[in-house]
C-alpha cells in the first residue's frame, strides 16, 4: 500500500528543512562559500515553506498561492526597478542573480514566497488564542503584513551592506536604515496586503474538524532567517542590525510560544 500523501509531504518537508539547515551551517562555517550557497539556501527555503503548507492543504491550492505571491511580489520589484515605485529607487546588482525581463533578479519572487508564507505561519501562532474571534481573518492578514514589514527591516542590512544584492538610491527623506528608506518596509507591508487579498482563500483549511495542532515549521524558518541575517551583520560589525535581528527573534519567539500554548 502506498503511504498517505500527508506522510509523503511531511517527509519531503523535513528533508528539505534538513538540507536547508546543512546549507546554512556550511555558509556560516565556510564564509568563502557563502555567496555560492545563498541561491541554494533561498530555493530550499522556498520549497520548505511550500511543503510546510502542503501537509495541511491541497497541493494545487498551495502551488497557486505560491505562484500568485511570486508574481505579485516580483512584479512590484520589477516596477520599482523601472519607476522607483512602490519601494523607492533601487539598483539590483548582479550578485542578486540573473534578471527576469531585464529588470528583477529571479531570486526576489522566491523571496516573497518565503517571507509571506512564513510570516503568515508565525502570525497564526501568535494569534492562536483569538482564532475564534469574529474578525480573526482580518487580524491575521493585518498581522502577517506587519511581520512582513518587520522582516524587511531585518533583511535590508543583509541584502544591502552585507551581500550587495541591491543598492537603494538617495531620496528626499533624511532618515535611512542601512541605506534603505523607511518607505521600503512600508512598501513590503502594503504589497503583502495585496498578495494576501488574493491568496488567503487558498490558504484556508476547508474541511471542518478540531482545531489544528500548532505548526512550528514557519516559526523555525522565520527565526532561522533572522539569526542568519544577524551573523552576516555581525561579521561587518553592523551592531544596530544585529540588535534588531535578535530583538525581533526573541519577541516573535515569545509571542508565538505563548500563542501556541493556548
Spell out the SS3 assignment of 230-250.
HHHHHHCCCHHHHHHHHHHHH
CA dihedral of residues 188, 103, 229, 157 (deg, nearest 10): -80
Is 129 within the bounds of a domain?
Answer: yes
Grid coordinates belonging to 47: 520549497
37 falls in which pLDDT band (50, 70, 90)? very high
Q: Compute the distance between CA of residue 253 and CA of residue 106 in angstroms, rounded to an integer.
A: 30
Q: Compute the distance between CA of residue 122 and CA of residue 255 in angstroms, rounded to an integer.
A: 9
Is 209 within the bounds of a domain?
Answer: yes
Is 1 within the bounds of a domain?
Answer: no
Is 106 within the bounds of a domain?
Answer: yes
Count the alpha carbons within 13 Å of 51 in the hemisphere toward its beta carbon.
20
Is 77 within the bounds of a domain?
Answer: yes
Q: Tell me which residue range forms the domain holding 41.
A: 15-24+34-260
For the whole model, what pTM was predicted? 0.95
211 falls in which pLDDT band (50, 70, 90)? low
Is the pLDDT at 210 greater than 70? The verdict is: no
List pLDDT tens digits, range 91-130: 999 999 999 999 999 999 999 999 999 999 999 999 999 9
Q: Which of 81-95, 195-209, 224-238 has the lowest mean pLDDT?
A: 195-209
Is 4 within the bounds of a domain?
Answer: no
Q: Compute the distance between CA of residue 212 and CA of residue 209 in angstroms, rounded to an integer.
A: 8
Strand partners, 224: none
- Verify cis geometry, omega within 30 degrees of 0, for the bond prior to 109: no
Is the pLDDT at 3 greater than 50? The verdict is: no
Q: Where is pLDDT greater, at 74 or 211?
A: 74
198 falls in which pLDDT band (50, 70, 90)? very high
List pLDDT tens digits, range 150-184: 999 999 999 999 999 999 999 888 899 999 999 99
Please report the pLDDT score of residue 5 as a whole number.
57
Q: Looking at the 3D structure of the chain, how many domains does it have?
A: 1
1 falls in which pLDDT band (50, 70, 90)? very low
Is the pLDDT at 76 greater than 80? The verdict is: yes
State mean pLDDT over 177-204.
97
Q: Compute the distance between CA of residue 248 and CA of residue 215 in angstroms, rounded to an integer.
A: 20
Is 145 within the bounds of a domain?
Answer: yes
Closest CA to 43 of 108, 137, 117, 92: 108
Distance, first Cα to last Cα, the chain: 37
Is the pLDDT at 209 greater than 60? The verdict is: no
Task: Please state whether 102 falls in left (phi above 0), alpha (psi between -120 and 50) or beta.
Answer: left
pLDDT over 70 percentage in the chain: 96
68 by Cβ neighbours in 10 Å (0-12 / 13-18 / 19+) ranks as middle
pLDDT over 90 percentage in the chain: 90
Task: Please name the residues in contact with 62: beta carbons below 8 A apart, sequence gap of 6 or more.
Answer: 50, 53, 54, 202, 203
Is 5 within the bounds of a domain?
Answer: no
Amino acid at each position: 500500500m502506498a503511504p498517505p500523501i500527508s506522510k509523503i509531504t511531511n517527509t519531503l518537508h523535513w528533508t528539505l528543512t534538513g538540507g536547508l539547515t546543512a546549507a546554512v551551517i556550511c555558509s556560516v562555517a565556510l564564509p568563502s562559500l557563502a555567496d555560492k550557497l545563498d541561491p541554494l539556501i533561498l530555493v530550499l527555503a522556498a520549497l520548505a515553506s511550500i511543503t510546510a503548507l502542503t501537509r495541511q492543504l491541497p497541493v494545487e491550492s498551495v502551488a497557486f498561492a505560491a505562484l500568485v505571491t511570486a508574481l505579485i511580489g516580483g512584479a512590484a520589484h520589477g516596477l520599482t526597478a523601472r519607476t522607483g515605485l512602490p519601494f523607492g529607487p533601487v539598483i539590483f546588482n548582479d550578485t542578486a542573480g540573473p534578471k527576469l525581463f531585464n529588470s528583477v533578479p529571479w531570486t526576489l519572487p522566491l523571496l516573497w514566497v518565503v517571507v509571506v508564507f512564513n510570516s503568515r505561519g508565525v502570525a497564526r501562532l501568535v494569534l492562536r488564542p483569538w482564532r475564534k474571534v469574529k474578525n480573526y481573518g482580518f487580524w491575521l492578514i493585518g498581522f502577517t503584513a506587519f511581520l512582513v514589514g518587520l522582516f524587511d527591516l531585518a533583511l535590508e542590512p543583509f541584502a544591502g551592506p552585507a551581500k550587495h544584492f541591491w543598492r537603494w538610491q538617495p531620496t528626499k527623506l533624511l532618515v535611512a536604515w542601512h541605506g534603505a528608506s523607511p518607505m521600503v518596509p512600508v512598501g513590503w507591508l502594503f504589497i503583502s496586503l495585496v498578495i494576501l487579498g488574493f491568496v488567503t482563500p487558498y490558504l484556508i483549511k476547508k474541511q471542518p474538524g478540531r482545531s489544528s495542532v500548532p505548526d512550528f515549521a514557519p516559526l523555525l524558518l522565520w527565526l532561522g532567517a533572522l539569526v542568519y541575517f544577524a551573523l552576516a551583520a555581525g561579521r561587518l560589525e553592523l551592531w544596530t542590525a544585529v540588535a534588531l535581528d535578535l530583538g525581533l527573534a526573541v519577541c516573535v519567539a515569545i509571542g508565538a510560544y505563548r500563542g501556541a500554548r493556548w
